Amino acid sequence: MATAKQRSDAVRARQAGKIKAILQTKRNPLDIESVSNCNACINLSADHVPSEGDPQARIMLVGQSPGATERDRGRPFVGASGELVDQMLFETGIRREDVYITNALKCKPPGNRKGHPTELNLCRKIWLSHELKSVNPEILILVGKDAHQSIVGDKFPFKHCRSVKGASGRTYLSIYHPAYYIRRGVIVDFVMSVSEKLKELLGE
């Protein structure tokens, strides 16, 4: 009879084999059905929220992970934080539908916890890196520390409205999550600080 350790090792081996097969499978990162059927993360694999927006957008916005409202409606950034993002885009003169919106983690973590580094790394390899390659935006807005870490890692420190131009010419703009401003009751600070910085980057 297998011991608890042997059973645990067997589960990990099966999961490793599944992940390897997933990584080797060609997939369309912009396909909603493909994202919805992903089961790579052993502690997630449910409550998927696919990306949306213009697949040829000049601006791509990457959030951290879906919340309860996003899970229920099946769309990224549609809760209170999403409304604040919409206000920021409106103030900048940009329509939401002209932006490609996604998350560093495509599934809502249980208990509304943050994504684990292993989950974020795996989701980046399977989805996010391919989305970046496919959309190829000029400006990449990283909303929150998880999104920042998933894309740029430790290449430069996280700081609100810090923009850095990469070797490819793409501009990376890191910003605090809108929830930070909502909790403090200073939503105008978010809208104005980000829209002004974005206008500057767009040359307006």
Q: What is the CATH number of the domain that holds 140?
A: 3.40.470.10
Nearest-angstrom CA–CA distance, 38 and 13: 18
The tens digit of pLDDT for each residue in 142-200 reads 999 888 988 888 777 888 999 998 878 899 999 999 998 999 888 899 999 999 999 99
Torsion (CA) 141, 142, 144, 148 in degrees, nearest 10: -160
Q: Output the pTM of the full model.
A: 0.82
Angle at 151 between CA 149 and CA 153, to 5 degrees: 40
With beta carbons less than 8 A apart as the criterion, state whether 15 and 41 touch.
no
Interior/surface letters 15-48, b for 16+ CB within 10 angstroms, e for the rest: eeeebeeeeeeeeebbeeebbeebebbeebeebb
Q: How many domains does the chain have?
A: 1
**Spatial separation of the C-alpha atoms in residues 192 and 81, rounded to whole Å:** 15
DSSP 91-118: HHT--GGGEEEEESSSBPPGGGPPPPHH
pLDDT profile of the chain (204 residues), mean per 10: 59 50 55 73 75 94 90 89 94 95 88 82 87 93 89 84 88 93 90 94 83
Residue 21 domain boundaries: 4-202
